[in-house]
Amino acid sequence: MLAQNLAKEITVCRAVTCKTCDKTTWAGCGEHVDQVMAGVPRRDRCEGHAKEPAKGSFLSRLFGN
């Protein structure tokens, strides 16, 4: 049980691949982003996609709201 709790504490932030641009971004609590992204060259980092329109939730797409 202690090993499971320890593993959860260690996995707070992690590198993931952006589904939009296939570059590296992060997932997790947000407090360790600098550590996660430290080894990723700037050209390989996702810079975000805030200008893209929101797709909405599954239910809003289903019901047209």
pLDDT at 54: 65
Q: Could you say which DSSP state residue 47 is in?
A: -
Q: Which amino acid makes up residue 6? A: L
pLDDT at 53: 66
Which residues of the chain register pLDDT less than 50? none
pTM: 0.60
pLDDT at 15: 95
CA distances 23 to 26, 29, 35, 47, Å, are 10, 19, 17, 9
